Structure formats: structure tokens, C-alpha cells
């Protein structure tokens, strides 16, 4: 029995965070039968918030369904919430999906579209997500029905690995994890980083 084929829409928009999208893409595109689509308002190149340029393969008007949607976050999350055509498309395509997912502040875009009740997000925007009427979790990955949200940036890899395990097999997810050598050993623990750096960064981001 072969693996199921799936159309995955990776959403592009100005000033998105590249790793939010590239991390899940690297995991999910490793699975045979996955068809990746990079969808945006137009086919014009999109620059991420650190300048990386990506080119859409389709537009919101052209793609009216997807098995999976992956919504990245942005270091400019307030501006992202002004991307009304994208939010409208998320609301439109959500009924067609098996899974609608987000990474980092992408959960605030799902909230703006009215698609999520319980979610996680980047630690710096938990208050914003809560103000949108969402029950905010501090977990790294949260499943709420068919909506799966990941916390900040690198957590998108965890989310995608969990999705592979859910939709395909644990062995498949383990194989991908080994292939990308995802066994994080960061140089500093959260305790070592400390509240002073966290507060300074939050002020800078806000």
C-alpha cells in the first residue's frame, strides 16, 4: 500500500520569517507523494523579514483547496495582521484541509481568520494572541482538532515531524528526524539566557 498523496500549501507574505516555513518544508517535502505549493497574493517574489527572497508557485485566487496549509509567522506580526487577502484565503481554504497549521506568530493570523480556539505562539506575542480570544498554551506544539500550532520559529520542525507521525508513521517521522539530524543541543539553556535578555528582546521586537 503506497503513501497517500497530499497537496501542501506553504503561505508566503511580505516580511514572513523564513525558517518558520523552510523548517516544516524540509520535513514535509521529504515524504513521497507530497506536492508542495508556495502560495501568495501574487506570483511576485516575496522577501522574508531577514531579506531571503522566495518565489510563489501559485496565488490565493488560483488555489482553492489544500490538504495541509502551513502559515509562517513574522518578526513584523502587527503588519502581517494587515494582510487581509491572506486572512480571507485562510478562512476560505480551511474547510478543505485535513490539517491547518501555523508556526510562531502565524497562529495570530489563524486567529484573525477565526480558525483557532486553543493555540501556542512565539513567547513575545502570547498577550496578543490572548487578546484575539484564543486560549494560549506555552507548549511547543498544540493540536486542537485539525489545527496544529507551533511555538516560535524552530518549533515548526517539531510540528512538521509530529504531522508526519500522525499522517504517515512514527518510523517515517523518525527517519526524517535522523536525515536532517534534528537533535537540538543549544549552547545556552533558557535558564542561562535569563529574564534581562528576554525583556530586552521583547522590547526590541514590540
Tens digits of per-residue pLDDT, 88-128? 999 999 999 999 999 999 999 999 999 999 999 999 999 99
Is 0.85 surpassed by the pTM of this model? yes
The widest CA-to-CA distance across the chain, in whole angstroms, is: 54
Torsion of CA 166, 116, 80, 72, to 10 degrees: -10
Q: What is the DSSP string of 157-184?
A: HHHHHHHHHHHS-HHHHHHHHHHTT---
Single out the catalytic residue among 19, 104, 113, 153.
104
> Residue 94 falls within a domain, yes or no?
yes
HSE-up (13 A, CA, CB side) for residue 1:
2
- Find out whether 77 and 47 touch, Cβ atoms under 8 Å: no
Query: pLDDT tens digits for 41-81?
Result: 999 999 999 999 999 999 999 999 999 999 999 999 999 99
Q: In this structure, is residue 159 part of a structural domain?
A: yes
Residue 166 domain-assigned (yes or no): yes
32, part of any domain: yes
pLDDT-derived band at 189, boundaries 50, 70, 90: confident
Lowest pLDDT segment from 17-21, 83-87, 190-194: 190-194
The total number of structural domains in the chain stands at 1
Active site residue 104: yes
**Is the per-residue pLDDT at 202 higher than 90?**
no
Residue 147 within any structural domain of the chain: yes
Q: pLDDT tens-digit profile of 117-134?
A: 999 999 999 999 999 999
CATH of the domain at 122: 3.40.50.880
Is pLDDT above 50 for 1? no
Q: Which range marks the domain in which residue 107 is found? A: 6-205
Residue 38 or 193, more confident: 38
pLDDT of residue 166: 94
* 60 in a structural domain: yes
Residue 1 lies in a domain: no
- Per-residue pLDDT at 29 exceeds 70: yes
Query: Is 95 contained in some domain?
Result: yes
Amino acid at each position: 500500500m503506497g503513501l497517500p498523496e497530499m497537496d501542501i500549501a506553504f503561505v508566503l507574505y511580505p516580511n514572513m520569517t523564513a525558517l518558520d516555513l523552510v523548517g516544516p518544508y524540509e520535513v514535509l517535502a521529504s515524504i513521497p507523494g507530497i506536492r508542495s505549493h508556495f502560495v501568495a497574493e501574487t506570483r511576485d517574489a516575496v522577501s522574508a523579514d531577514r531579506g531571503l527572497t522566495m518565489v510563489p508557485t501559485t496565488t490565493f485566487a488560483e488555489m482553492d483547496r489544500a490538504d495541509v496549509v502551513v502559515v509562517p509567522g513574522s518578526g513584523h506580526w502587527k503588519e502581517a495582521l494587515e494582510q487581509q487577502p491572506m486572512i480571507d484565503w485562510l478562512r476560505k481554504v480551511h474547510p478543505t484541509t485535513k490539517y491547518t497549521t501555523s508556526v510562531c506568530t502565524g497562529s495570530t493570523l489563524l486567529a484573525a481568520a477565526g480558525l483557532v480556539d486553543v493555540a501556542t505562539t512565539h513567547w513575545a506575542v502570547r498577550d496578543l494572541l490572548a487578546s484575539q480570544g484564543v486560549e494560549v498554551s506555552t507548549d511547543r506544539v498544540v493540536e486542537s482538532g485539525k489545527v496544529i500550532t507551533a511555538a516560535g520559529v524552530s518549533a515548526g520542525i517539531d510540528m512538521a515531524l509530529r504531522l508526519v507521525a500522525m499522517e504517515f508513521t512514527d518510523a517515517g517521522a523518525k527517519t526524517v528526524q535522523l536525515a536532517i539530524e534534528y537533535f537540538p543541543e543549544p549552547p545556552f539553556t533558557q535558564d542561562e539566557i535569563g529574564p534581562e535578555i528576554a525583556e530586552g528582546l521583547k522590547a526590541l521586537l514590540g
